[in-house]
């Protein structure tokens, strides 16, 4: 009959022993990025922040056995955390109301200070970041606020870090994540301004296009006019040049050529021809009267 | 005696069950694993110092803030054995995607960003990432929610970039190459530059035109997320930049006008080329006609010159008289002078 209790005890003894050991604080397991703070009789007796298996008794002596009864073990996560503060209201130098979003990282660096210096370190850090952001960004030019965010972020970080360190925090990166216009009317006005600008660009582009077309047409008219003048001048130039050449060689030849060509052209035409001797004006008049 | 034997049997059963049930594990091909013993990871010796030695993507200040050791990584395979006091942390290293608008504390379909000309626009897209096998410590232990950190950092950098963005090529809405007259005319250049000046400050257009550049910048800026959070950014794909509807319509009007202007200029150029070609042909035609007119003159002059050379002026006169003979065939009447008239004239 003692087999069953013996077997059950055999199954349970290890978990029971481990549970008792933990309950009496004989050993503790510290995870990566974790710190454990031990207090006894209202005093901090030590912190273990190295990951792994530890025996508090080896650190604090026999008084470690009293921790479960008269003290406490605090487990603090020291991993990097982040927080986003949305829509913090600031006013630019021009008086424009702006919403600013701040994203920041923080990490517990001093677990004891984190636990006991400030009852609400997270809330206090948020308030500090908010306050520092507003004081850094207020009365800045809107353009600087929008475009120079990283340097402003560094300024906020430098302002908040000393305060947060008092409470065991180490502030990580701080970024101004968002800068927005909170006034709907203002957003609409800016949109309208951009639309007007775009319309202006459209008009300018259209006008520029018309100017370019006009320029091309006028240049074309100029070139075409030059060419047409060149075409008109081609005949006088070529014919005149040739007649000059002939005249230079022999004027009589030129006269003869002209006369021969006149005769040829006269023959080709169907005109009525009267052949008169030179100095025959009276006879011409006579001939005309006879026709009538 | 029986009690002791049963006790030992129970102890053995418990131990066997714990060992067999929880101490064998495998790692699938897309996974990597890290084992912790009593909560402590297996740190690679000397890696903390190596990390301190310098990381080109981090500033000195950041190196101190993001100082993480390297851990022993279990690669795919198995079955592996672990002791009961050890814990296996598995992570998938396959590439994953997350919407740019993802925010665990707020639902949103797009993220708002203010451009350089103060216009509030909606931005959307996707970032692809994978957990860095070479820096698993921050992902598993060092950072509480690594993806939130990556998104926080990414969105901050993106919004600042959008607020500062100007077209690096000179932000011309009028493409110089499209509208060049081709002859490098100074007047045309002046007209173009005036339009370019007007287009400055319309950064929404610049952003849309330079999306690849923006994506590239974001990828470069986010390279240090591997060292910071153990997440390696594979690609940043900003796919949408949505201004208000009226701005979109104005942008469409610009594009339509640009196309219309380009078409008008093309037509004008074609007309111009045609007219210039035709006028050049007219010159050729006039020249040929004149040459045709000159050819008989030249030939006749040559012939008459050879006649004169052989027979002198008398022969030339004779030829001329002969040329007039056909006129008499065509003449309606003749007046012939008598010899007395001839004498009186002389």
Give the mean pLDDT of B305-333. 86
**pLDDT tens, position by position, B151-204:** 999 999 999 999 988 877 654 444 444 444 444 444 445 444 545 445 555 778
DSSP conformational letter for B139? I
* B290: chain A residues, CB-CB within 8 Å: 234-235, 237-239
Residue A137, pLDDT score:
83
Provide the strand spans (E) within A109-143.
Answer: none
**pLDDT tens, position by position, B253-270:** 888 898 899 999 999 999
| Mutation for testing the B interface, residue in A55, A80, A239 having most B CBs under 10 Å | A80
Q: Domain locations in chain B? A: 1-94, 95-179+199-243, 255-305
Q: Do the beta carbons of residue B139 and residue B223 sit within 8 Å?
A: no
Asked whether the whole model's pTM tops 0.80, one would answer: no
The β-bridge relationship of strands A273-275 and B331-334 is parallel
Is pLDDT of B133 > 70? yes
**pLDDT tens, position by position, A32-70:** 999 999 999 999 999 999 999 999 999 998 888 889 899
Give the mean pLDDT of A234-251. 90
Which of A77, A73, A78 has the alpha carbon at shortest distance from A28? Answer: A73
Which of B4, B253, B294 lies at the smallest CB-CB distance from A202? B253
**pLDDT tens, position by position, A151-194:** 888 888 888 888 888 888 888 888 988 888 888 888 899 889 88
Q: Do the beta carbons of residue B199 and residue B251 sit within 8 Å?
A: no
Is pLDDT of B346 > 50? no
| Cα B288 to Cα A41: distance, rounded to the nearest angstrom | 123
* B261: chain A residues, CB-CB within 8 Å: 205-206, 208-209, 212
| Cα B38 to Cα A55: distance, rounded to the nearest angstrom | 12
| Cα B300 to Cα B297: distance, rounded to the nearest angstrom | 5
Instruction: Give the mean pLDDT of chain A.
Output: 87
With an 8 Å Cβ cutoff, are A211 and B191 in contact? Answer: yes
C-alpha torsion sign, points B320, B323, B325, B331 = negative
* A264: chain B residues, CB-CB within 8 Å: 323
Non-local (6+) Cβ contacts of B52 within 8 A are B63, B67
With an 8 Å Cβ cutoff, are A12 and B153 in contact? Answer: no
Assign B55 a pLDDT band (cuts: 50, 70, 90): low
| Mutation for testing the B interface, residue in A216, A245, A253, A269 having most B CBs under 10 Å | A216
Instruction: Give the mean pLDDT of chain B.
Output: 82
Please name the fold of domain B95-179+199-243. Answer: Tetrahydropterin Synthase; Chain A (3.30.479)
Is pLDDT of A284 > 80? no
Q: What is the dihedral angle through the alpha carbons of A256, A257, A259, A260, rounded to the nearest 10 degrees?
A: 110
Q: Do the beta carbons of residue B161 and residue B218 sit within 8 Å?
A: yes
Is pLDDT of A278 > 80? no
Residue B57, pLDDT score:
67
Residue of A nearest to B272 (CA): A220
Q: How many residues does chain B have?
A: 346
Give the mean pLDDT of B225-250. 87
Which of B39, B264, B268 lies at the smallest CB-CB distance from A32? B39
Residue B184, pLDDT score:
42
| CATH architecture of the domain formed by A80-182 | 2-Layer Sandwich (3.30)
* B297: chain A residues, CB-CB within 8 Å: 239, 242-243, 246, 257, 261
DSSP conformational letter for B44? P
Work out the minimum CA distance from A249 to partner chain B, whole angstroms: 9
Residue B166, pLDDT score:
83
* B250: chain A residues, CB-CB within 8 Å: 194-195, 198-199, 202
Residue of B nearest to A213 (CA): B265
Q: Does this complex have an ipTM over 0.85?
A: no
Give the other-Cβ count within 10 Å of B274's Cβ. 11
With an 8 Å Cβ cutoff, are B37 and A201 in contact? Answer: no
Assign A112 a pLDDT band (cuts: 50, 70, 90): very high
SS3 category, B346: coil
Residue B48, pLDDT score:
59
Give the mean pLDDT of A92-97. 83
Percent residues over pLDDT 90 in chain B = 29
Q: Do the beta carbons of residue A89 and residue A108 sit within 8 Å?
A: no
Work out the minimum CA distance from B28 to partner chain A, whole angstroms: 24
* B325: chain A residues, CB-CB within 8 Å: none
């Amino acid at each position: 009959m003692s087999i069953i209790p013996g077997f059950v005890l055999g199954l349970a003894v290890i978990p029971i022993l481990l549970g008792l050991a933990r309950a009496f604080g004989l050993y503790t397991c510290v995870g990566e990025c974790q710190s454990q703070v031990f207090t006894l009789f209202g005093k901090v007796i030590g912190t273990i922040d190295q990951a792994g298996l530890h025996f508090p008794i080896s650190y604090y002596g026999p008084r470690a056995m009293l921790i479960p009864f008269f003290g406490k073990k605090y487990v603090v996560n020291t991993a990097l955390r982040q927080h986003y503060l949305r829509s913090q209201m600031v006013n630019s130098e021009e008086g424009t109301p702006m919403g600013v979003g701040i994203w920041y990282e923080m990490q517990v660096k001093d677990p004891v200070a984190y636990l006991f210096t400030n009852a609400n370190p997270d809330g206090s850090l948020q308030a500090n970041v908010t306050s520092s952001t507003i004081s850094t960004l207020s009365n800045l030019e809107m353009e600087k606020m929008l475009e120079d965010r990283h340097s402003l972020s560094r300024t906020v970080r430098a302002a908040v870090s000393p305060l947060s360190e008092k409470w065991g925090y180490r502030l990580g990166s701080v970024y101004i994540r968002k800068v927005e216009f909170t006034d709907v009317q203002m957003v609409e006005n800016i949109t309208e301004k951009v639309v007007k600008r775009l319309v202006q660009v459209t008009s300018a582009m259209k006008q520029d296009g018309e100017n370019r077309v006009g320029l091309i047409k006028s240049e074309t008219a100029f070139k075409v006019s030059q060419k047409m003048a060149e075409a008109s001048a081609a005949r006088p130039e070529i014919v005149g040049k040739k007649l000059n050449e002939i005249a230079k060689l022999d004027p009589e030849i030129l006269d003869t050529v002209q006369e021969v060509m006149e005769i040829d052209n006269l023959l080709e035409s169907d005109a009525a021809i009267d052949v008169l001797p030179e100095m025959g004006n009276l006879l011409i008049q006579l001939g005309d009267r006879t026709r009538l | 005696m029986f009690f002791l034997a049963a006790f030992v049997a129970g102890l053995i059963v418990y131990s066997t069950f714990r060992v067999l049930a929880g101490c064998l594990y495998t790692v699938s091909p897309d996974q990597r694993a890290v084992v912790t013993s009593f909560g402590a990871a297996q740190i690679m010796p000397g890696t903390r110092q190596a990390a301190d030695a310098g990381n080109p993507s981090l500033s000195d200040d950041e190196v101190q803030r993001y100082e993480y050791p390297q851990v022993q990584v279990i690669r795919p395979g198995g079955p592996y054995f672990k002791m009961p006091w050890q814990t296996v942390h598995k992570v998938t290293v396959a590439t994953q995607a997350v919407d740019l608008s993802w925010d665990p504390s707020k639902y949103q379909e797009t993220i708002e960003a203010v451009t350089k000309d103060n216009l509030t626009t909606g931005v959307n897209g996707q970032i692809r990432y994978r957990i860095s096998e070479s820096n698993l410590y921050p992902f598993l232990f060092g950072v509480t929610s690594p993806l939130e950190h990556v998104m926080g950092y990414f969105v901050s950098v993106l919004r600042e970039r959008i607020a500062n963005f100007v077209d690096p090529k000179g932000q011309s809405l009028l493409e110089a190459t499209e509208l060049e007259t081709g002859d490098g005319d100074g007047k045309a250049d002046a007209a173009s530059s005036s339009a370019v000046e007007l287009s400055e400050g319309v950064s929404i257009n610049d952003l849309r035109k330079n999306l690849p550049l923006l994506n590239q910048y974001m990828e470069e800026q986010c390279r240090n997320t591997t060292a910071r959070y153990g997440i390696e950014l594979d690609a940043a794909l900003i796919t949408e930049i949505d201004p208000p509807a009226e701005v979109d319509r104005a942008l469409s009007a610009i594009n339509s006008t640009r196309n219309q202007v380009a078409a008008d200029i093309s037509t004008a150029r074609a007309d111009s080329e045609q007219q210039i070609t035709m006028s050049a042909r007219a010159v050729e035609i006039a020249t040929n006609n004149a040459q045709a007119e000159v050819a008989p003159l030249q030939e006749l002059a040559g012939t008459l010159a050879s006649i004169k050379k052989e027979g002198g002026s008398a022969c030339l006169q004779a030829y001329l008289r002969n040329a007039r003979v056909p006129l008499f065939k065509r003449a309606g009447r003749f007046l012939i002078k008598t010899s007395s008239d001839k004498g009186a004239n002389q």
